[in-house]
């Protein structure tokens, strides 16, 4: 009698290794967090490591405080266009509204916080790593069900440790992405189990689970096009034989039993409240992402002359083939092999994996449309690696009369599979080098809390969009734009104010944004004026009005690295359709003698502050101006009419920072008011100076 080896136990043990590895590489970052606890925690709570996390945490807080009303206007966002009157047309409203669709993650964490008594922050810390690795569960059970366990194991391994997915599901990252792969793969598994079952009760169970999970998936992510694709794959599979016969023009007698109608009703009817939007949304996404054809909306047409803010967002940028592969696996060779393997997999097992195929297509978009899709590719690269093991020993070699015996085939497949698994594990171990750290450190959270405690409740934050969600969460104040509303011309207007050289001009743009907003801008543009004409009229004071609500300009340390794009948009030339990148360099330097500074970060450049010369290996460049701010007074010295501006700033804690600013950006209000604390008291009042973390000005109302 042929000896049998309990492979399933072996596979389950490796499956546990995958889950443990995924959780471990996330919690391993906690060591760094403890070492930097003074910055990574605030008042005993860990800080979030991603911008959108502030948004979902804020929604949970709004639910706790009774502010969240589904369908109601979200008064923290997009000021002053957060009112029912803020409309482009009867169909299009600018006002952001609360909705459970797409925000059920906030509700889940709010409920868990109420039940456990733990804060949303601590629940995020402990739960997200476990939620993130859940993607491996449906993958393994799906592929193991079709007797491809190595594909399931390696698919899960690569998925949980892919750099792109890890970066989007790391420690303290409260976001959709922890279930954005898990839920569609789970639905696909339920679909497959439905078709494999012949028992009515089992079929009923799988269709009910499918229907419930589809609803939850929409509440989780709010992309009806993805739910529509999943439903479409189910319907195609359900009517496959009938459609095939019709295409081949073969006679087929199609009858539907009451059970068939019940299954379809249980699956489709609960989705009708949202799925109607799916086909059109799918059409738009295919048109835009696959064929790069975009139909401009009425808003796009109206605001077409303003710069495209999306060009500054990294996750929307296209990547090369090699960059896509290395965003999934650390070893490019394994990545290419896995890509070949997954194509073979779909060739030989298309019908069995039909429900997964659309998401493989989404993953392939990462080669054409942007980095955000790479996480969808990750599991399929791993699946392809694992499938090649099955393909080699269960399909290819048996044709050569090698390893045809079941016992020998199983033993060799398990041995080679384990070798590939260990190789991939060792390759993906490099994920330990990727550390998830807070997007905001505790000193800035302290400053945001200062805003909450020391400004009126109707105060509005005027700053760049990245920390918009954070102000809403920690400062509990409204903002002009944030990570979900940054694409409008309002972002240009904010940048224009920060890049201005005249304080009056900065005030005029603030007044315009505060009183007119996007709604008022749209109304003016509809009168036939061009964007450049409106901007020129704002500068001339045509739209100047007293500022009704308290407005606070807030400068934060992260904006120094983002100043290049801020100045680009702020200096945008509507005729040339481009701006100028502003340069503020913050090199690490050391004093080597009196008024002589060496900066290793700048090719060992030596700054001679006696004679106004910067010496580098290939020559020298002049220093135009030198500024020294000692914490209370600004000392200035002019050297030449051109060249860099050198600024040395001393903080309240007696630390010193050196900045090099390239003209004309050195005259911008951003540089003058943030780095040098030089401002015009007719328009602004310095109310909080915690440089470099935050410098806050109150805008004078008139």
- DSSP annotation string for 457-471: TT-EEES-GGGHHHI
Is the bond preceding 628 in cis, omega lying within 30 degrees of 0? no
Closest CA to 449 of 43, 59, 53, 110: 43
**Rounded Cα gap, residues 143 and 164, in angstroms:** 23
Query: Do residues 55 and 484 make contact, with C-beta atoms less than 8 angstroms apart?
Result: yes
pLDDT tens column, 507-535: 999 999 999 999 999 999 999 999 999 99
Longest dimension (CA), the chain: 96
Closest CA to 553 of 612, 506, 518: 506
**Rounded Cα gap, residues 119 and 109, in angstroms:** 9
Give Cβ neighbours of residue 239 (< 8 Å, ≥ 6 apart). none
Of residues 223 and 7, more confidence is placed in 223
Torsions phi, psi for 42 (to 5 deg): -130, 120
Torsions phi, psi for 566 (to 5 deg): -60, -45
- DSSP annotation string for 544-572: -----S-EEEEEETTHHHHHHHHHHHHT-
Torsions phi, psi for 351 (to 5 deg): -65, -35
Binning pLDDT at 50, 70 and 90, where does residue 5 land? low
Of residues 594 and 539, more confidence is placed in 539
Tokens 């945001």 map to which residue?
A: 448
Query: Do residues 558 and 51 make contact, with C-beta atoms less than 8 angstroms apart?
Result: no
Closest CA to 473 of 84, 94, 114, 109: 109
pLDDT tens column, 87-116: 888 778 999 999 999 999 999 999 999 999
Closest CA to 11 of 420, 418, 428: 418
Of residues 64 and 654, more confidence is placed in 64
- Helix-strand-coil percent breakdown of the chain, rounded to 5? 55, 10, 30
Query: Do residues 443 and 689 make contact, with C-beta atoms less than 8 angstroms apart?
Result: no
Q: What's the pLDDT score for residue 246?
A: 67
Tell me whether strands 619-629 and 644-650 are parallel, antiparallel or unpaired. parallel
The residues facing 553 across adjacent strands are: 462, 697
> pTM of the full predicted structure?
0.94
Closest CA to 658 of 570, 595, 615, 611: 595
Residue 121: alpha-carbon gap to chain centroid: 19
**Rounded Cα gap, residues 145 and 139, in angstroms:** 10
pLDDT for 2 beyond 60: no
- What's the rounded mean pLDDT across residues 44-71? 97
Q: Which tokens go with 409?
A: 């085939």
**Rounded Cα gap, residues 91 and 88, in angstroms:** 8
Query: Do residues 626 and 609 make contact, with C-beta atoms less than 8 angstroms apart?
Result: yes
pLDDT tens column, 420-473: 999 999 999 999 999 999 999 999 999 999 999 999 999 999 999 999 999 999
Look at phi and psi of residue 172 and say left if phi exceeds 0, alpha if psi is from -120 to 50, else beta: left
Tell me whether strands 478-479 and 551-556 are parallel, antiparallel or unpaired. unpaired
Q: What's the pLDDT score for residue 294?
A: 76
pLDDT tens column, 630-683: 888 999 999 999 999 999 999 877 888 999 999 999 999 999 999 999 999 999
What counts of helices (H) and strands (E) characterise the chain? 31, 16
Closest CA to 540 of 570, 581, 508: 508
Q: What's the pLDDT score for residue 372?
A: 78
Neighbours of 615 (CB within 10 A): 16
Closest CA to 556 of 478, 465, 618: 465
Tokens 């070893």 map to which residue?
A: 331
Q: What's the pLDDT score for residue 298?
A: 83
Task: List C-alpha distances in Å: 583 to 506, 646, 669.
Answer: 20, 12, 14
Closest CA to 680 of 507, 497, 461: 507
* Cα distance between the two ends of the chain: 95
Query: Do residues 77 and 96 make contact, with C-beta atoms less than 8 angstroms apart?
Result: yes
Give Cβ neighbours of residue 134 (< 8 Å, ≥ 6 apart). 178, 179, 182
Q: What's the pLDDT score for residue 193?
A: 97
Q: What is the DSSP letter of 15?
A: H
pLDDT for 289 beyond 80: no
**Rounded Cα gap, residues 414 and 294, in angstroms:** 49
Burial of 401 per CB tally in 10 Å (0-12, 13-18, 19+): exposed
Tokens 């989404």 map to which residue?
A: 362
């Amino acid at each position: 009698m042929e000896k049998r080896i309990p492979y399933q136990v072996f596979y389950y043990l490796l499956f546990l290794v995958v889950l443990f590895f995924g959780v471990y590489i996330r919690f391993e970052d906690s060591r760094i967090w403890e070492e930097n606890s003074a910055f990574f925690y605030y008042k005993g709570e860990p800080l979030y490591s991603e911008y959108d996390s502030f948004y979902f945490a804020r929604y949970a807080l709004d639910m706790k405080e009774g502010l969240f009303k589904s369908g109601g206007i979200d008064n923290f966002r997009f000021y002053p266009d957060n009112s029912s009157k803020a409309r482009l047309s009867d169909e299009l409203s600018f006002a952001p509204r609360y909705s459970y669709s797409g925000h059920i993650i906030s509700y889940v964490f709010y409920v868990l916080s109420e039940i456990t008594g733990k804060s949303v922050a601590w629940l995020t810390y402990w739960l997200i790593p476990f939620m993130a690795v859940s993607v491996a569960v449906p993958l393994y059970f799906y592929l193991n069900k079709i007797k491809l366990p190595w594909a399931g194991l390696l698919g899960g391994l690569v998925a949980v440790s892919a750099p792109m997915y890890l970066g989007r599901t790391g420690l303290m990252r409260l976001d959709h992405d922890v279930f954005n792969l898990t839920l569609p793969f789970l639905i696909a598994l339920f679909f497959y189990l439905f078709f494999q079952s012949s028992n009515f009760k089992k079929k009923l169970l799988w269709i009910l689970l499918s229907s419930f999970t589809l609803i939850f998936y929409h509440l989780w992510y709010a992309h009806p096009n993805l739910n529509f694709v999943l439903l479409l794959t189910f319907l195609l599979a359900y009517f496959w034989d009938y459609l095939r016969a019709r295409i081949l023009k073969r006679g087929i007698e199609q009858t539907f039993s009451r059970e068939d109608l019940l299954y379809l009703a249980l699956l489709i009817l609960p989705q009708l409240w949202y799925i109607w939007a799916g086909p059109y949304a799918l059409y738009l996404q295919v048109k835009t992402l696959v064929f790069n054809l975009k139909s401009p909306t009425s808003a796009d047409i109206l605001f077409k002359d303003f710069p495209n803010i999306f060009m500054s967002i990294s996750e929307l940028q296209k990547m090369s083939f090699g960059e896509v592969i290395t965003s999934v696996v650390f070893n490019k060779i394994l990545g290419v092999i896995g890509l070949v393997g997954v194509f073979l997999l779909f060739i030989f097992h298309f019908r069995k994996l039909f429900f997964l195929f659309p998401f493989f297509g989404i993953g392939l978009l990462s080669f054409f449309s942007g980095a955000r899709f790479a996480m969808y590719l990750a599991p399929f690269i791993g699946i392809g690696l694992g499938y090649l093991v099955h393909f080699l020993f269960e399909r290819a070699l048996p044709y050569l009369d090698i390893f045809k015996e079941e016992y020998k085939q199983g033993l060799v497949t398990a041995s080679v599979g384990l070798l590939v698994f260990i190789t991939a594990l060792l390759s993906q171990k490099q994920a330990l080098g990727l550390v998830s750290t807070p997007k905001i450190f505790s000193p800035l959270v302290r400053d945001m809390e200062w805003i909450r405690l020391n400004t009126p409740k109707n105060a509005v934050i005027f700053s760049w969009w990245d920390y918009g969600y954070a102000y809403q969460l920690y400062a509990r104040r409204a903002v002009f734009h944030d990570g979900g509303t940054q694409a409008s011309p309002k972002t240009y207007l904010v940048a224009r104010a920060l890049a201005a050289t005249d304080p009056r001009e900065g005030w005029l743009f603030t007044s315009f944004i505060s009183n007119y907003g996007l709604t008022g801008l749209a109304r003016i543009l509809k009168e036939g004026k061009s964007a450049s004409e409106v901007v020129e009229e704002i500068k001339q004071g045509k739209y100047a009005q007293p500022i009704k609500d308290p407005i606070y300009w807030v400068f934060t340390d992260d904006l120094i690295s983002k100043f290049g794009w801020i100045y680009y948009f702020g200096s945008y030339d509507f005729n040339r359709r481009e701006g100028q990148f502003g340069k503020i360099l913050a090199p690490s330097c050391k004093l080597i003698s009196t008024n002589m500074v060496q900066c290793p970060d700048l090719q060992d450049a030596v700054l001679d502050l006696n004679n106004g010369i910067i010496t580098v290996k290939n020559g020298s460049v002049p220093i135009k101006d030198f500024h020294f701010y000692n914490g209370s007074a600004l000392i200035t010295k002019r050297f030449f009419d051109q060249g860099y501006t050198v600024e040395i700033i001393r903080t309240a804690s007696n630390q010193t920072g050196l900045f090099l600013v390239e003209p004309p950006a050195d005259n911008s209000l951003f540089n003058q008011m943030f780095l040098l604390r030089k401002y015009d008291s007719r328009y602004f009042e310095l109310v909080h100076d915690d440089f470099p973390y935050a410098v806050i000005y109150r805008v004078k109302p008139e």
